[in-house]
Every structure is written in structure tokens, then in C-alpha cells.
Structure 1
Amino acid sequence: MALGLGVLDDYGISWDESIQRRHGRVSIDYAAEKLGIDDYEKLEPEWDLEDYQWSNYGMIYQITANLLEQKLGYEDDPYHYYKLRHYLAFGLFWLACLYFYRTLRLRFPDKAWYPLIGTLALVLSPRIFANGFYNPKDHILLVFYVISTFTMLRFLKERSWRNLIFHAFATGLALNTRLPALIVPLTTCLILGWEMLRDRSEIRANLKWIAVYLPLSVAFMVPFFPYLWEDTFSRLIGAFSEMSAFDWDSTVWLFGNRISALDVPWYYIPAWIIITTPIIFLLFIFSGVFATGKHMLSSLRDFRWWSSKEELLDFSQLGLAVGPILVVILLGSTLYNGWRHLHFVFPSFVFLLMVGYDYGQRNWARPQVQSWILGAGLVLTAVQMARYHPHQYVYFNAAIQGEPLNVRFDMDYWGVGFRDAFLQLADQIPEGETRAIKCEVWPCKDNYKSLPPEAKAKLTIATAWHKADYLATNFIWPNTRYDVRDRKEHFAFPVVEVRPAGDLIVGIYDLRAAKAAAAPAPKGTE
């Protein structure tokens, strides 16, 4: 916790943060109107949530962040209202780590070190760690997915009305973040349903659990989802149908191929997970999948998927990890850059990592060798994260070598690195002077707004190229990727280039020097 708070201000502002801030304010305006709060000052220009493009998204995090911002008086202070959101996001990630630890305690109650090692592995997952500071939607889902997974596994291991009610509450919160959390109640009901098919004595009890759990989950979801306050069920059905048919007509990059987001290959998500997860982690994850699959096949002889409570937890986590990936592949879903939209499945993979480690400890001839391997993997990953800091979100494992990564993969597609670049540029500018910057994408402007006052005073945002001293870019356009590689035009005059682990992600380039170099030589000179 202390480490996270110490480095929190090093992270920049992501593409979605300003958008999600507006989403929260629109939802608050709508709630204030429905609750009859007359003295509330509405957002200008006014937005109507019922006609709002993103009304179908749960807004519990966005509403909370906006209310805190208003309470603290930060509404007109981007430096503080973005920093507030990073505190809130990291605090939630820390909470997720606590619940993940408790989840591992459920699985390994007699092995005190296992939950600590597994939680450390989650924290030392580079992309997961970095997104925990600035990702305002995908990682909020991860947090509540972890919490609802814990409550589900606790209920499945220890059946009681108390545990069911807590699970319904956690499910409602998870559904309020993003609707892919539907996999949690689906998994819960499928397991209870399987038990009824296999053992008729379970039918009555399990039907009662389901009959209470599902309505209660919706009841806990609605209060934090203002759009559902009216015409709840038809709007909820509409939200599911619109989310499943969402289109994003853009392109993504993988292995040097430019791919339509509407038609990504089946291996897109598996490939991203494999190339951005530390290799030693992958070895233990595969071992955990193998061990779980082996136990499942063994249990099938008796018409079971599991033969003990521990195997039930492993089976559930395998479904929670692999299930969403299979759904995305089978439905041919539109996918964004990288795999951030499926980060929420990764804690379940780390759970399987510990299952794999435990399997090796019980079956390897020399289990101490396995401990040294995992320990070395954790240490090496920590060193790599320090090397990348604060840009762990562009981490790739050692399997990716060769040509510059920014012409082969999506790198800093959210523009988080602009803040670091601006701080480095401000250090170069003498006191009392300013430089005008042309931003290629709007996260550049949001990162400028979030700068500390002393750095911000040295920079201004230019509205046109001819008024700018410098260009700031994160190379999301195809031509910029190749032009910077070949050092064409202004890319031949770098002022600041952010290169975590040597890979270029954000750059600031001197337009004045480029213009002077392109100008024809005066007559009479050589």
C-alpha cells in the first residue's frame, strides 16, 4: 500500500478518464432530478441520461469519484481531481488484493505462505499493477470481479444464507461496474444447476439458493445504477443487448499486422496474455490449468467435475478465467487495443498459478527447485517493473524481440506517458520561458491539465501547427509509427522521447528545427 501511494503521482492520465468523469456527472445530474434535489447545480451543457450514449454503463465508481471531487472543491482543478481518481482507483486495487488473499486462504487454509506468494504475484503482474492507478472502468470491474469471486467461492464452500446475501451484494456491485461481470452469477447458477442434475437431493435447496440470489443481486445493483431506476427490466435487457452488439470501427496492432477491431482473429486475446505475462508466471499457470483439467477428467468417471471442495474452487476459477475469453472468441466480439478489457480474468489465472505451484510441490521429485524458480520469477519481474516505471503498461516478456515494438504492437494507446514527457520537457525550459505544444490526441491535453503548477507554467497548448514550437505524439497513427522509425521530417529532431526498457512510446519533437531544416538555402550560399 505504501509503495503504491509513494509512486501514485508518477502515472499519467489515460484516454478514458475525462470521458468517465463526464459519465459520472451526467448520472449524478439524472439522480438529483429523480430524487427532487432542487438546489443542485446541473452540468453545463446539460446532458440527458436517458438519451446519453453511455447510459447503459454502471457508474458506481464514476459517481463516487464525482461526489468526492465536489465535496473537496476540486471541480475546477484538474491536477487534484485526476489525482483524487488515482487515489481512489489504487485504493480499490489494494482492496482487490486483500480479497484475493482471502480467496487463496479459502483454497489453502493450512499453507500460510501460499496466499502471500499468490497475492505478491498479482501485484507483480506489470500491466495489472500499472492499470490499477489510472484505468477507470476495466480495472474497476477487476476489483469487483475479485470480490464477487471470493464471495462466490466462500458460499460454494460453506453454504449459508449469510454467505449467499454477501455474494448477492458483491454480484450487484460487480454488475454495476461493467456487464461482463454477468459471468459471476452465470457460474454460480451453473454450478448449483450441475449439482441438481447429479444429485436429486440437492434440488430443493439449490432452487432456493438461486431463487433468492438472482433477484437479490439485481436489487443490490439498481440503487447504484440510476439509469435503471425507471423501467428497470426493459432497460436492463436493452443494456445487455447494446453492450453485446457494440461496434468500434477502428484498428488494432498485433505482431506488425493492422487489424480491424470488428474482426480480430481468434488468437488475439490469448496472444496478448501470453506475450505480456512474465514467462515464469506462465509456466505455473499452465501447470495449474493442467492440474485442474487432470482432476476434472478423473472426477468425470463418477459423473462429477470435482471430487472435493478444493477441486470445486479450482474448477470455478478455471471457468472464471477461461469462460470470458471463450465467449469473446465465439461471439466474435469487437475488441479494443491490447487486452485491458479482459484484465479482470487475470486474478483467476494467478489463482491457477498457485494451484500449479501446489501441484508441483506435491508431485515433483525435488519441490525446492520449483520454489527457487517461482522466487526467481518474482524477483526478476520486480526488477523489470522498476526498470519500466512508471510505464509498466507497455511491458512485454522476453519472448518478444526484434524490430521496434511501436511498429508491431499497440503501445501507449491511452496516452498515459504524455505526463512523463511533459515533466521532462519542463525541466529543460529555463524559468520564465514557455513553449507551445501541438497535441496529436486529446489525452495529451488532459495530461497537460494534470501537471503540477510549476511545470504547467512553462507550457501552453497550441491550437494550430504554425503556432507550435513542438509536437507531442504517442504514435497511434500508422504513418507516425514508420516516420519516427525512419526519422522523417520533424521526427529527426527529438526533444523528449519516453523509452521504458528502450522501447519508444511517447515523443516530443521540435517543429521549429524541422521547419528551418526544410527551408531552402538562401541564394548565394552553398
Structure 2
Amino acid sequence: MISDAPVRRAGPRALHPADIAAVVVLVVVCAVSLATFRDFGMGWDDYAHAEYGGLLLRLYGSGFTDRRALSFVNLYAYGGGFDMLAALAAKVLPFPIFETRRLVGAIIGIAGLAMTWRIARRLGGPLAGFVGVALLATCPLYVGHMFINPKDVPFAVAMLAATLGFVRAFSEYPHPTVPTTALLGLGLGLSFGTRVMGALAAVPTAAAFLLIVVAEARRQGVRPALWRAGEFLLRLLPAVVVAYALMALIWPWSVVSPLNPVKALLYFSHFFEKPWRELFEGELLWVVDMPRRYVPELFALTTPEIFWALGIAGVVAALASAAHADRPLNRRASLVFLAVSVVFPIAFTVLTRPAMYNGLRHFVFVLPPAAVLGGLVGALLANRVAASEGRRTAIAAAVLAVTLAHPVVTMIRIHPYQYTYFNATAGGLQGADGRYMRDYWGLSMKQASLALRDVLAARGELATPKHKRHIAICGPQRPVRVELGRNYPTDWQPQGGEFAISLNEFYCAKLDAPVLAEVVRDGVVYARVYDIRGRTIDTLLTPMPP
């Protein structure tokens, strides 16, 4: 069972082949990130998030007299740690603000990979660490979002830090060390300070904690078990203090009033926007009416098959191991924590059926614990087919190279739209085309803007301050303005426009006008550039059914 894997080996530490392989994975991801972070465009919310980061810095820089950040759109209800960090980085790095945000996102995502490796290695040994980090590093949903998503990947990495803290705390039960307590406080503070949904950690924590208390009560009696439980909780109280202080730092609105975190939780527990339609299974459905299968189905179609196969197997194996009373109790608690961290958010969504949209971006935080459990199962399987450490590592690497070839090659082909990946089960991008949302972030507006500029440069028709080129937009406008500048004013309406840039999503109409350029990946069009001069076009939008 996976609970039998040693946490640490006694004696001098040798450089394990699996550790070398894991480091190679991390180095490759770092190199690719440095080479490509400038390629990723802006999405719908990037500009607002950049403004929020600047306002938060002004809040602190003004001695709390400039309080605009505390009422800025609805972002005050989110933590601004990422936005502040990116704003600070932009002051010292030689890149524009939006490229800096991509680089900071990549760094945070890589930190998540390192923590995934650390957790899997701690629970299952070096080979589990290698398999776990390889699974996550080749998961397009995670890799794509780590460059572009200012909320969901930072939240996922913050939850990972809390997960590592809990795993360490359960392994040291009932006397968690000071470093463990500090790490747990750091993780919880970052989690709540990023999204109030950090409260989700309470469920796997309670499940693991109750497992320990009930098991000890059966073995030693209720009173000793409760005494040890109380001692454990008392020693973790400093983590609460650290978490609250850090939450206050990166989410100042949360401490303006003691009840503000509760208000934020209530705010996000109900759909707070005007409903719209999105494409799912080829039908236009209201986001508040998505079927219960929405999240499980998209997990099956937008993550590599080996990822979800090992992840599901890891959940089953973890729960099975936790049910064996003869297994080490502390490790059983850690396994329960990881399994519930994966299962509970998905099961809760299936049962409660909230508004669901933008694919799985809100569930990125489920991917790392699933990768850890997948790593444990992968290591277990490799241990059964080979005796030596070198052979086991070689077998695991070979199997991963074969099973992960499709997502890796596809990520290269569809760059920089990795987050739009669909696996072979879905028929790839072409199989998903017209059935599911793809570029819901609007990233392709950058490449479309650059394509328009290239066409105009070749024709000698570039805009000037005296002769501006008006562009109609179906999609986010800010990316076009950032890429093309002030000489290319944008508008939602086509009237008076010379060119149109349109996402190839269901809500953007295919215009009866010459196509100047297309952004295409894997045979699928992401965006089009039209010449609409001399054309009468009433709208860029597709008529919606009532």
C-alpha cells in the first residue's frame, strides 16, 4: 500500500536517480518559462488586476490615506498578494508591467511544482516525487494558467504551502515543530489572503485530524486522545496568528472590519454577476444551469489521460491505505488529507451545482494534490516491476515519456495557449472545436494584434498620430491597446471601424469581410482580423437565442 513507503532513509544521503530526474524537470520548466513568458498575452481581467496591485501599493505608500484599493470594483474582496508582488517586480525588472506579471506568475507556478515534488517525496520517496512533479509539469491546464492567471494559480500554490504544512504537522503529531508551524501559518495566510475559499482546507484538515483522534481514542482511551489533540491544536495556535497577519498584509480589506472575510465568503457563495451563456457539449447553456457533470467531464477531457488515471488511482489507494488500522497513523492522516483535498471540491460542486464557467480555472488548486497522489501510485507500480532504484527510475521515466508525449507535443504546437488543451479522449482541439470553450481568457488578441500590425506594415498603412486606425473588437480591448498603442483606438461597435479583431468563440460573429489574418493552432482558429472598410456591419456579436 502507498502508506508503507518510507518518509526518510536512515544513514548518509546519496543522490537518488529520481531526485536527479525531478531536478531536470524543474530546470527544463524554468528554462522554458524564461524563454517564453513574453509570448503570453493579456486576458479580460489583466488590466484591472494590474490597477489593483498599484492601488494596494499606494494604500501602503500613502500611510493608508489613499484607500481606493478598499473599494476597487469587486477586487477588494480578493487578496492582492500576486498583484502587489507583480507591481513591485515591475519597478525593478526591465520588462513592461504585463510581461512582468507573466514572469511572476511563472515563478509562482514553478514554486508550486517544487512543493508538489517535496510533498510527494516526503510521503512516497524520491520516485514518487519525480512522478508527481512530472505529472504536474506536463499538465497543460496548470502550465498554461501559471503564466496568465493572477488568482487561481497563486491560490493553488498557497494551498500547496498549507498542504505541506499540514502533512508535516500530521507527521509530527502531536508536537509540530516551530518550522512546521511557521510554514503552516504562511500557507494558510497566503491561501485566505488570496481567496477566501481557502476555507476549503478545513474539510480535509478535519477529516485527517478526526482520523487521528478516533484511532488514538480506540487504542489509548478517549481522555489521552483528547489531551494529545488539545496539545496539538495549542501548538498550532501561532500558525493562526501568522496566517492572520499575512492575510491582513496582502488582503487589507479583510481586516478593515472583523466580519469582512465572512462577507466575502457570503458574496462568493452566490453567483454575483449577470448570467451569460457558455458552450458546453455543443450547446449554449446559462452558466447557472450547467449540468452536474461539468467539472468531472472537463477534468477527463482537459487533463492528460495518465494524469487523471493515476490521480484517481491515487485517491482510491490513499483511502484504502487509510482504512488499514495497522498502517502508520500519521501517514494515514496525510493520505486522507490529500484524498479529501481532491475529492471534496469536485463532489461539493457536483452536489450543489453552483454557477460554472471558464472551464476548470477555478479548480486548478485540485491539480497539485492529485499529482502527488498520482506520484505515489506511480512509484508503487514501479517498485513492483523493478528491484534497483536506477531501474525503477528508468522505467518510470520511460512510461512517463510515452504517456505524456501527447500533452507535451501539443503544448508546443498550441503555444502560448496551453490552457486551451484538450486530450486525445476529447479528440484534441479539433474534436473540442464547436463543443467547448477554448480561449475564454482572450489570450489570442495579442497575436491577432501583432498580425494586423504586420499586415499594415507590409502595405505601408501603419497608423500615425495624424491618421489613426480605428479597430472594432469582439473580445477584450485592453490587449489590443497595449500591443498597438494610442494610434489604434478601439471600440465594441463596428461603425466607424476600419478593421475588426474578433475571437473565434461562439459569441463573436463570423463577418462577411476580407480576412487579413488568422491566429491558428492545431488547425483551429483562435482569432481573426478583418478588413471592414467600406462594409456595413451592425454588430460583431452572434445573435443569441432568447
The one-character-per-residue Cα deviations of 1:191-228 (angstroms, maximum 9, x if unpaired) are 22332233232322322333414455334322322113
- Residue 469 of structure 1 is aligned with which of 492, 498, 501? 498
* Residue 126 (structure 2) pairs with residue 126 (structure 1): no
1:288 is matched with which residue: 282, 295, 314?
A: 314
- 1:244 paired with 2:269, answer yes
Matches within 5 A, 1:23-34: 23-32=52-61
Q: Which amino acid aligns with 2:139?
A: S
- Residue 449 of structure 1 is matched in structure 2 by 481
Provide the residue aligned with 1:419 in structure 2: 446
Corresponding residue SS for 2:533: helix
Deviation digits for residues 16-48 of structure 1 (CA, Å, limit 9, x no counterpart): 111212333344444456x356xxxx5xxx846
CA distance in 2, matches of 1:449, 1:27: 24
Change (3 A) 1:508 1:236: same
1:437–1:323 distance in 2 versus 1, CA, 3 Å:
farther
From 392, 406, 429, give the equivalent of 2:456. 429
CA distance in 2, matches of 1:506, 1:397: 21
- SS of 1:410's equivalent? coil
> Across the two proteins, how many residue pairs are aligned to each other?
483
Deviation, 1:171, is 0.8
2:356 aligned with 1:335: yes
SS of 2:42's equivalent in the other structure is: coil
Cα 1:80/1:326, change in 2 over 3 Å:
same
Within 5 A, what are the aligned runs for 1:39-54? 47=68, 49-50=70-71, 53-54=74-75
Distance in 1, matches of 2:157 and 2:346, equals 18
User: Is 1:116 equivalent to 2:130 in the alignment?
Assistant: yes
SS in 2 for 1:497: strand
Is the Cα–Cα contact under 8 Å of residues 290 and 353 in structure 2 kept in the other structure? yes
Q: Distance in 2 between matches of 1:322 and 1:437?
A: 50
Letter matched to residue 438 of structure 1: I
Whether the aligned pair in 2 keeps the contact of 1:152 and 1:167 (CA below 8 Å) is yes
* DSSP 3-state at the match of 1:273: helix
Q: How many angstroms apart in 2 are the aligned matches of 1:135 and 1:438?
A: 26
Match of 2:212 among 174, 177, 195: 195
SS in 2 for 1:259: strand
Task: Quote the Cα distance in structure 2 between the aligned partners of 1:223 and 1:164.
Answer: 19
Aligned to 2:527: 506
1:8 is the counterpart of 2:37:
yes
In 2 relative to 1, CA 207–330 (structure 1 residues): closer, same or farther, beyond 3 Å?
A: farther
Aligned to 1:520: none
Match of 1:377?
403
Q: Distance in 2 between matches of 1:270 and 1:22?
A: 35
Distance 2:208 2:331 in 1: 14
Q: What CA distance in whole angstroms lies between the structure 1 residues aligned with 2:517 and 2:381?
A: 47
> Partner of 2:284: helix, strand, or coil?
strand
Partner of residue 58 from structure 1, selected from 64, 68, 79: 79
Q: Secondary structure of 1:152's partner?
A: helix
Letter in 2 for 1:318: A
State percent identity of aligned pairs. Answer: 20
Q: Secondary structure at the match of 2:254?
A: helix
Q: Is the 8 A contact 2:131 2:379 kept in 1?
A: no
Alignment match, 1:157 = 171
- 1:498 is paired with a residue of what secondary structure? strand
Tell me the distance in 1 between the aligned counterparts of 2:64 and 2:38. Answer: 38
The aligned amino acid for 2:362 is H
Aligned-partner Cα distance in 2 for 1:335–1:343: 14
Q: Give distance in 2, aligned partners of 1:449 and 1:88.
A: 22
- The answer as to whether partners of 2:213 and 2:225 remain within 8 angstroms in 1 is yes
2:231 paired residue number: 208
Aligned-partner residue type, residue 205 of structure 1: R
1:393 Cα deviation from its structure 2 partner:
1.5
Decide which moves more: 277-286 or 367-376. Answer: 367-376
Cα distance change, pair 17–51 in 1 and its aligned pair in 2 (3 A)? closer
Structure 1 residue matching 2:75: 3-state secondary structure: coil
1:308 is displaced (CA, Å) by 4.8
The residue type paired with residue 430 of structure 1 is A
Aligned to 1:523: none
Which of 59, 75, 99 lines up with 2:115 in the alignment? 99
TM alignment of 1:353-372, pairs within 5 A:
353-362=374-383, 372=398
- How far the C-alpha of 1:397 sits from its partner, in A, is 0.6
For structure 2, the 5+ residue unaligned runs are 1-29, 217-221, 464-468, 538-546
Contact 1:61–1:140 under 8 Å retained in 2: yes
- Cα deviation for residue 307 of structure 1 reads 4.6
Q: Partners of 1:188 and 1:289 in 2: how far apart?
A: 16
1:418 CA displacement: 1.0
Q: 1:500 to 1:308 in 2, by over 3 A?
A: farther
Aligned to 1:326: 347
Distance 1:48 1:395 in 2: 35
Partner of 2:96: 80
RMSD: 3.0
Query: CA distance change for structure 1 residues 31 and 400 in 2, over 3 Å: closer, same or farther?
Result: same
The answer to whether the Cα contact below 8 Å between 2:117 and 2:372 also exists between their aligned partners in 1 is no
**Residue 106 of structure 2: aligned partner:** 90
Query: Is residue 421–residue 508 contact of structure 1 (8 Å, CA) maintained in 2?
Result: yes
Between 362-371 and 162-171, report the one with greater CA deviation.
Answer: 362-371
| Aligned ranges 1:343-358 → 2 under 5 Å | 343-358=364-379
2 CA distance for matches of 1:439 and 1:318?
Answer: 48
C-alpha separation between the residues in 1 aligned to 2:353 and 2:492?
40
SS of 2:288's partner is coil
Which one of the candidate residues 142, 156, 159 is aligned to 1:142? Answer: 156
| Contact 1:247 1:334 (8 Å CA) reproduced | no
Distance (Å, rounded) in 2 between the aligned partners of 1:205 and 1:361: 37
1:440 matched to 2:473? The reply is yes
Q: Distance in 2 between matches of 1:352 and 1:313?
A: 11
**Worse-superposed segment, 238-247 or 396-405:** 396-405
SS at match of 1:176: helix
Tell me how far apart the structure 2 counterparts of residues 149 and 496 of structure 1 sit (CA, whole Å).
Answer: 46
In structure 2, distance between residues paired with 1:332 and 1:8: 35
Change in 2 beyond 3 A, CA 1:36/1:374: closer
Aligned mates of 1:86, 1:509 — CA distance in 2: 29
Within 2, Cα distance between the matches of 1:226 and 1:173? 13
- Aligned equivalents of 2:493 and 2:140: distance in 1? 37
- TM-aligned CA deviation for residue 338 of structure 1: 0.5
Output the CA distance in 2 between the equivalents of 1:101 and 1:370: 15
Q: Which ranges of structure 1 fall in alignment gaps of 5 or more residues?
A: 517-526
Residues 459, 228 of structure 1: CA spacing in aligned structure 2 closer, same or farther, 3 A cutoff?
Answer: closer
Alpha carbons 1:475, 1:506 under 8 Å: kept: yes
- Inter-CA distance 81–317: structure 2 relative to 1 (3 Å threshold): same
Q: Secondary structure at the match of 1:399?
A: helix
**C-alpha contact (below 8 Å) 1:288/1:359 kept by paired residues:** no
Bigger drift between 143-152 and 328-337 goes to 328-337
Shift of 1:363: 5.0
Partner SS state of residue 522, structure 2 = helix
Q: Using the TM superposition, name which of 257-266 and 360-369 deviates more.
A: 360-369
